[in-house]
Chains A and B, each alone.
Chain A
């Protein structure tokens, strides 16, 4: 619990190994792993679309996505309706990142995408309480944006490349990487991908950092896997009905 990553709750409480994550997801015997991926993808998109509607910063949206993931580590999707949890995550992250918005405005923004959204502001407040509690009041979330800028200064990256790297980092929120690795490692992996894409040799630079290359390679492979799957994710809207039906059983 601190501004320092290494003694923060982000590092000590909320990073899991791959095995632990598998065990957590096994609790929901209803859904396969791929279905869970679609589930997270769909509601992450909801968060970012609603976030853009109410004109928040990217950092707020990213925090909300992490809150959403963490909430469903502690709770099963069958017990809490993601349709209320996702907007609540956004509402809470607006508060923690000092971009306060009114609940009424958020509700209207959600209505723009789902006019039959059955919840009121009161439900939002109730859910917020529950959300804060299951987050264990650890409200400080670290993001890869700052280390990304820091490292890109070291290798004198042009701004176009930095934009690509941040876009990759944003896409990482669709995966469960942020529950496994500290954000600075993800930043390095994103820079690694952009380096390779633009034919800059990254190995010299990474060798100078005291970072295990295996971990970086693992993260990059995961990111690339996600991009290969992107065609699958275009079918999310077709599958999400079945997934939500399964959840409600």
Chain B
């Protein structure tokens, strides 16, 4: 095309005659560099922060604790995932930044600023970091903490009340969080709960929402059945799950896959029928995931011993029909918060050592290793101390940490995990054939898993036996010994569950 034609339509006719338009063409700016110099994008801000330690890892990216060099203020930095984006700056990050800027509430984590670390080295591919206020604990970490006693009812009421206040604020601004779970609820040293991780949040609208949100254990039945027009009630279901988890000190509905999660929900809340939930039949996957048996609703029976108000509240929050669930505002008026024992004052809550999801994961993993070594002794395999000593590198993630089922459409899926496991299995077989002729430090863990898998029946006994009797492993982490010294019945059961879960993830 001719240059003269190219830009003629740029200005509206009301400003110009057509003849004039044809004559005047702005020249190309040749002298201005096409590509942007990454140095100019470099930010001095990031160099202000000094990394102290990792706080969390996952499909959402990484979070680490840092310190402002000048002010000595501790902050949490979250790296924005930039890889795998074909459309420039990721939309999810833009949403998260925008929503966090919108939400200014004491129970929502505060985004202080956003900094970048671009420099000459990174060639314009540097990372963007969100700077959050540092909050010491998260709720999942507190539940997992071995030497924390049962939460008292006033304490639980205090947490849930603050959660609902924050959530009510979000919902009143028309924001759906869509990922409420223990690990995303931070608790400060003063006992103030803060909702974090708005990576999946968005402004509510009527249609065309994705159903692949919320961590599986906290996902509501209408999402599992493929609803694409939901509202704030999905968050309320998650609140119900969190409340039950606080009471039971273990996850309420720990399903491994979508259909299994639904089975668990049916067995707890009953199967959907006309009285229960009329709209279920219209949902996309209802025919696919139809309940095979019909279960009665046992929510009230299960939580009977926690008191009348608790049962009443949970019964409502865990109702199958999303229209029957209370909103955050209505829930705050529920008797649960207005009868004795009243919710505790946040400042009166006990202090805990800093905990985060990553810590509890490490602890669980350590316990897992103990079990494996124990199994090894029984199965007469030469067991060098070197195997046990091997420290994990900071960057290396155990593969079960990828378990974020359906957390993000672009994230790693089940398929990824499966293929990885398959490869590992193959390796394991080879290794066993070799009878450990060499020091195979790298593969020792997989071998252990294989054996672990074979001896599933004796596993529980071994776990307990080990805890009580065996003290043969002098090279264990301090963490593990810590566990041995303080355990009560609840914990044992809990770890047992966790291990079982892990085993299934592996194989």
Contacts and interface: CB of A to CB of B under 8 A. Distances in A.
A170 to B, nearest CB: 13
B298 interface: no
Contacts of B7: 113-114
B25 interface: yes
Given A113-B6, A116-B6, A125-B89, A238 B20 contact: yes
Interface stretch (B29-37, B134-142, B381-389): B29-37
A206 interface: no
Interface in A43-65: 45-46, 49
Interface in B93-118: 94, 97-98, 101-104, 111, 113-114, 116
B84 interface: no
B27 A245 contact: yes
A140 B101 contact: yes
Contact of B88 (A81, A91, A112, A237): A91
A78 B173 CA distance: 41
Contact of B102 (A119, A125, A140, A237): A140
B41 A236 contact: no
B29 A2 contact: no
A240 B24 contact: yes
A100 interface: yes
A79 B30 CA distance: 12
A118 B89 CA distance: 21
Contacts of A139: 94, 97-98, 101
A95 B89 contact: yes
A100 B91 contact: yes
A31 interface: no
Given A103-B87, A119-B34, A123-B35, A96 B94 contact: yes
A138 interface: yes
Contacts of A116: 3, 6, 28
A233 B12 CA distance: 11
A241 interface: yes
A83 interface: yes
A7 interface: yes
Interface in B179-213: 203
B254 interface: no
Interface stretch (A20-28, A127-135, A157-165, A187-195): A127-135
A173 B388 CA distance: 68
Nearest to A48: B12
Q: Is the interface of B mostly helix, strand, loop or mixed?
A: loop
A2 B347 CA distance: 27
B173 A3 contact: yes
A115 interface: yes
B11 A127 contact: no
A126 B98 contact: no
A208 B29 CA distance: 52
B393 interface: no
Interface residues of B, number: 47
Contacts of A249: 31
B430 interface: no
Contacts of A118: 28, 34
Contacts of A98: 203
A116 to B, nearest CB: 6
A78 B31 CA distance: 10
Contacts of A167: none
A226 to B, nearest CB: 13
Interface residues of A, number: 59
A128 B89 CA distance: 7
A241 B27 contact: yes
B16 interface: yes
Contacts of A7: 104
Given A130-B41, A138-B101, A49 B10 contact: yes
B87 A237 contact: no
A4 interface: yes
Nearest to A9: B101
Nearest to B102: A3
A81 B32 contact: yes
A113 B10 contact: yes
B29 A244 contact: yes
Contacts of A129: 36, 41, 88-89, 124
Contacts of B6: 113-116
A80 B32 contact: yes
A2 B102 contact: yes
B40 interface: yes
A248 B32 CA distance: 7
B70 interface: no
B36 A127 contact: yes
Nearest to B112: A1
B21 interface: yes
A177 to B, nearest CB: 20
A15 interface: no
B164 to A, nearest CB: 20
Interface in B14-28: 15-16, 20-21, 23-28
Interface string A1-14: 11110011100000
Contact of A126 (B11, B36, B114): B36
Which of the listed residues B29, B101, B203 has the most CB atoms from chain A within 10 Å of its own CB? B29
A102 B10 contact: no
Contacts of B111: 1
6 contacts: A2-B102, A3-B173, A8-B101, A42-B26, A130-B41, A241-B26
Given A2-B103, A81-B29, 10 more contacts: A81-B32, A83-B28, A92-B89, A103-B87, A115-B3, A123-B35, A125-B88, A139-B98, A244-B29, A248-B30
Interface of A: 1-4, 7-9, 42, 45-46, 49, 78-81, 83, 91-92, 95-96, 98, 100, 102-103, 112-116, 118-119, 123-130, 132-133, 136-140, 230, 233-234, 236-238, 240-241, 244-245, 247-249
What are the 3 A-B residue pairs with the smallest beta carbon separation, nearest first? A125-B88, A115-B6, A137-B114
